[in-house]
Structure 1
């Protein structure tokens, strides 16, 4: 739906038509219109683009940063204590509060929202990668490579980092879902993307004033948001079963 939004949408999601405000379902407006006369169906479609872009961007950024920092913390013992105390400090702050603070300091742009969602997720990735590196480091084949004089870059990227790929893929799906939810929450609270950008959070924030008159203004984006989060979490569970050998043996 997000990919084919220009062809599936009936009208421009940002086009304002005061004469058509708060219309019911019709052949022209499949889900009716909002308080500004904008087509709800088109806004739901284009809102999927915004939410998936934010989710994917935050997911890739947090995985990349977390993997680099986690490898450094897990392999270099001298840096482990300092890095993990910083990560513990970030994790002690609730994700949504930290995101609101970052957006309030920098302004509500797409880039700012991505940064605000990425920062709280990085420590979780760092702890995951660090744990895998510490576990792999004690393996016999790694000790053999060290005894043979294997250089550190080759040792890391040939023998240790590949072991983090499977758990990172599973963790990435959870970050994807969390990023979509946080972006919608920020937009709903007025601390996220600008109101002109069609996102599910903005749609629900604008529709709450007309909830008794037209509950679909909150219901439609809320249902799509819930289904998206459910789908991503199911995908994460499936990937965990496929990539984790212990889960495969149980099956």
Structure 2
């Protein structure tokens, strides 16, 4: 008698996280944003080896020159090559954006984990975070820079501080939900240490939302740095940043609008690209968004 063979049950396969990066090319708009941000980043990183003029070299005889073969975007009011300053300015702006995202996520993660797990600390921590969020981020950044002086480190710290409460509250909300799960209660019941529970069971749940939040922090930091520089409260004016270039060019806007147009265009493209990638990351990493997409 023939024995029927039952079909073997297939186990669910978990996709490696690296494969989830396919969201970077999920739609033509996201693909364009990824390519645009990649080109801006590549130009900023490779600026020292590219055939560019010195962005700090003053040449009064070449001031406000139009676009030419020697100066592709012309020169500014001090005779400096505008293209070189824009590309080198991207190094500072992107560095501050990435640095603010990493620092705010690092500090906010620790605060959120502690607040969400230890309820007796939560009330004090969250009231401090609420106090920081009540102060407008630009005013808080200007106050920090005024007390410590303008420098790259000071500007980075001044931009990071207002972003920490948002990250901390996000992590706290995830931890409050995750700590009620059976596997966390089981870990507590068997006597696992608090550090092990937070590191192995709670923190992995925060990775996906933190990646999304990090993109928004990066875009916000780039814009805030440009605003501070435009107001004269950021990095020293001779240092090429997109905000500094636009601040110097506003006095000559009627004579040469390109002094503001080109750095403004680069700033807009960078922020738009980061925000679009952040939206795509949210759709790819959030199970609820993927479920909606499948139902549609």
Fold similarity call, TM over 0.5: yes
Q: Which runs of 5+ in 2 are unaligned?
A: 1-42
- Structure 2 equivalent of residue 30 of structure 1: 72
Aligned to 2:83: 41
Counterpart pick for 1:128 among 170, 188, 197: 170
Q: Deviations over 1:108-129 (max 9, x none)?
A: 1000000100000000000000
**Aligned ranges 1:46-61 → 2 under 5 Å:** 46-61=88-103
Partner of 2:138: 96
Q: Is the 8 A contact 1:207 1:217 kept in 2?
A: yes
TM-score normalized by the length of structure 2: 0.84
Give the ranges of 4+ consecutive aligned residues of structure 1 lying more than 4 Å apart after TM superposition.
none
- Matches of 1:221 and 1:9, distance apart in 2: 19
Deviation of 1:8 after TM superposition, in Å, equals: 3.6
Structure 1 length-normalised TM: 0.98
Q: In the TM superposition, what whole-angstrom CA distance separates every residue of 1:145-204 from its partner, at most 9, and x where no partner exists?
A: 111211111111111111000000000000000000000000000000001210000000
Structure 1 unmatched runs, 5+: none
Which of the residues 199, 207, 227 maps onto 1:185? 227
Structure number with larger C-alpha Rg: 2
Structure 2 CA distance for aligned equivalents of residues 191 and 18 of structure 1: 26
Indicate whether 1:162 and 2:204 are aligned: yes
Of the two structures, which has the highest relative contact order with CA contacts closer than 8 Å and spacing of 6 or more? 2
Distance 1:9 1:246, change over 3 A: farther
Per-residue deviation, residues 59-98 of structure 1 (Å, max 9, x unmatched): 1000000000111111111110000000000000010111
Q: How far apart are the structure 2 equivalents of 1:209 and 1:150?
A: 64
Quote the Cα distance in structure 2 between the aligned partners of 1:205 and 1:153. 48
Between stretches 149-158 and 116-125, larger displacement belongs to: 149-158
Shift of 1:247: 1.2
The answer as to 2:289 corresponding to 1:247 is yes
Q: Mapping of 1:1-251 within 5 angstroms?
A: 1-251=43-293
Deviation readout 1:10-45 (Å, 9 max, x if unpaired): 201111100100000000000000000000000010
Contact 1:10-1:28 at 8 Å conserved across structures: no
Rounded Cα–Cα distance in structure 1 between residues aligned with 2:100 and 2:189: 39
- Residues 9 and 45, structure 1, Cα contact 8 Å, conserved in 2: no
Distance in 1, matches of 2:52 and 2:161, equals: 37
Contact map agreement 1:55 1:180 (CA 8 A) in 2: yes
**Rounded Cα–Cα distance in structure 1 between residues aligned with 2:192 and 2:52:** 60
Matched position secondary structure for 1:226: helix
